[in-house]
Amino acid sequence: MKNLKRQWKFIVVLIAGAVGLISQFALHSKSLFSIGNLQFPVHAIIIDIIGILMAISYYWKTGRYGVDILAVIAVVSTILIGDVWAEWMILVMMTGGETLEDYATGQANKELRALLDKTPRIANKLVDGKITEVKVDDLQVGDTVLIKPGQQVPVDGQIVKGTSSFDQSSLTGESVPVTKNPGDDLMSGSVNGDVAVEMKVTKAAKDSEYQSIVALVKSSQAQPAKFVKMADRYAIPFTVISLIIGGVAWAVSGDATRFAEVMVVASPCPLLIAAPVALVSGMSSMSAHHIIVKSGPTLEKLARAKTFAFDKTGTLTENQLIVDQVVTDDKSFDQKELQSLAASVEQQSSHVIASSLVKATDKDLIHPVTNLKETTAQGVEGDVDGKHVKVGKLSFVAPGHEKLNVTSTAVYVSVDGKFAGYITLKDKMRPESPKTIERLRRQGAEDIMMLTGDHKQVAEKVAKEAGITDVRSELLPSQKIQAIKDVPKHLRPVVMTGDGVNDAPSLTAADVGIAMGAKGATAASESADAVIMVNDISKVNDAVAISKHTMKVANIDVLTAIGVVIIIELIAFTGVIPAFWGAILQEVVDMITISLGLLAKTKPSDKQFGLEEK
């Protein structure tokens, strides 16, 4: 509604001007710009009323006392000296600048829509052994719920019957599904694997993990970081200089009109329009690089960002496991043969570890398997080339070897009842991740950290490969938010990049949230300030480079406009520029401002892209 009101202000001002021109032309066709006694009341009073209302709106309602002060003074001055057309011209540029800025920040507040759409709403409640569909909000602590294969856990609970694996990656960042047994806790929002389980409700919907994430997004959104717009930073010295010039002109001439003439020239139209034009151009450039930016201030913050935080799974990594090591414990088998036997047995399993192992193995090494048998949540076994092979958990494959300490994600293998070795897997690093981190440092990043819910050992390995030294692991969504809030003031703004549901609150809490949206991470995308539409994390570098270039252009644009306006003010000081022509000269300055602002669409330098050594 706020954006709509701003557009209506611009439309009303244009209509008032059109009414004035039509009435003036009809009554005084010989002189289009003359102001007669009959014409003046028709539209001049209307424009004065609009001017007074807008002056009040700017001064009392916006809460901004920078660039708006000059706008108020310019409007009031033209009202006092009765120069209606100069007043109208100022109102056009004031409301036009607002409308253009709204266009640059035109994305509506949709941050919670996708997250709320995915919130579990229906649950399968078990009553006397019968399934009854009920609303999730109606579940009570102590109720028993059936979680079918592939279903989302509706509320937090505890397994009372059945064993299955659960995908918690969107909540905790763990890249591998977690096996849950009777007595283990389940988080709402996690997705069940292949086996139905029964769960006892331990928390009502409003207190459960997934719903708490929604609440965290709302809370973070309700407390946005304070941010001073670029135009307001320049407005104070510009206002002081302009008031001094106008005041001295009044004092020297003894004529208040002279003050008004200087104030009309000093109208902050270039300040109001310079940044929005540059930001619109910068946002257009972002789109050309497959980055969608939702608001103009995002570019301002990105250009000054000092701290960058990254999620691990699906952000720095591809959320795909690859074989890391093949370790043999039996001299009868080499690494190639051990992997061949394990992949052959796993080829019919749908488990993420099994499919990753098969995908990483040469097809010629995968042989037919017979007598295949799967033990739920433990592993699989079968006969391959006359050998009985078991693959899975250590306790299933080789009881008695539990003291073996392997910190990575691993599958263990036995052949004919004898422990043969194990295969470790790791998250596949995005090939561009290390280079992205290196370039961010060249672009001025003072701190780069990883925030993940995954295990410490896994997180540290990925961080080392990516070139990140500040690693925070095993974090819940609320702890990610706290890590962002704890960043000291001198290391802000903070940019957070992520992709999962668990990243939505931290993306909202950061000064700038960037979502990897190429694979449909909608909840994260809706909570972010910018969305990378291709599966390439190096676009973060592009976003920073374009933002720096855009703000450089915008700053040059504003300073140029201020310099030109001050020169015109000094000329108006002499009294040779009437108020109306001063407003026209303002339009000339505005055209210069717009032309300079469009340069933000040009390509940033290699240094801004982080391609040059510092």
Sheet holding 387-392, edge to edge: 317-328, 418-429, 409-415, 387-392, 379-384, 370-375
**φ and ψ at 231, to 5 degrees?**
-60, -40
Per DSSP, 529 falls in state: S
Could you tell me if 284 and 275 are in contact, meaning their C-beta atoms sit under 8 angstroms apart? Answer: no
- Which regions in the chain score pLDDT beneath 70? 1-6, 20-48, 50-68, 70-71, 86, 93-94, 96-119, 170-175, 209, 211-232, 267-272, 500-502, 517-526, 579-580, 582-584, 586-587, 606, 608-614
Residue 151 DSSP SS3: coil
Could you tell me if 568 and 582 are in contact, meaning their C-beta atoms sit under 8 angstroms apart? Answer: yes
Could you tell me if 197 and 342 are in contact, meaning their C-beta atoms sit under 8 angstroms apart? Answer: no
Could you tell me if 418 and 316 are in contact, meaning their C-beta atoms sit under 8 angstroms apart? Answer: no
Q: pLDDT at position 501, please?
A: 62
Could you tell me if 434 and 465 are in contact, meaning their C-beta atoms sit under 8 angstroms apart? Answer: yes
Q: pLDDT at position 457, please?
A: 84
Task: Give dist(CA 586, CA 221) in Å, integer.
Answer: 38
How many angstroms separate the Cα of 254 from the Cα of each of 246, 247, 251?
A: 12, 10, 5
Residue 53 DSSP SS3: helix
Specify the pairing of strand 178-180 against strand 164-167.
Answer: antiparallel
Active site residues: 311
Residues 6+ apart with CB under 8 A from 136: 119, 120, 121, 122, 123, 154, 155, 205
Could you tell me if 33 and 24 are in contact, meaning their C-beta atoms sit under 8 angstroms apart? Answer: yes
Could you tell me if 157 and 200 are in contact, meaning their C-beta atoms sit under 8 angstroms apart? Answer: yes
Q: Which of 304, 303, 241, 301 is nearest to 271 (CA)?
A: 241
Omega of the bond leading into 604 within 30 degrees of 0 (cis): no
Q: Which residue has the tokens 């806790």?
A: 185
CB burial string 255-291: b at 16+ within 10 A, e below:
eebbbbbbbbbbbbbbbbbbbbbbbbbbbbbbeeebb
Residue 31 amino acid letter: S
Residue 181 DSSP SS3: coil
Residue 350 DSSP SS3: coil
pTM beyond 0.75: the answer is no
Could you tell me if 39 and 27 are in contact, meaning their C-beta atoms sit under 8 angstroms apart? Answer: yes
Could you tell me if 538 and 439 are in contact, meaning their C-beta atoms sit under 8 angstroms apart? Answer: yes
pLDDT in tens, 26-39: 555 444 444 444 34
Q: Tell me the Ramachandran region of residue 158: left when phi exceeds 0, alpha when psi lies from -120 to 50, beta otherwise.
A: beta
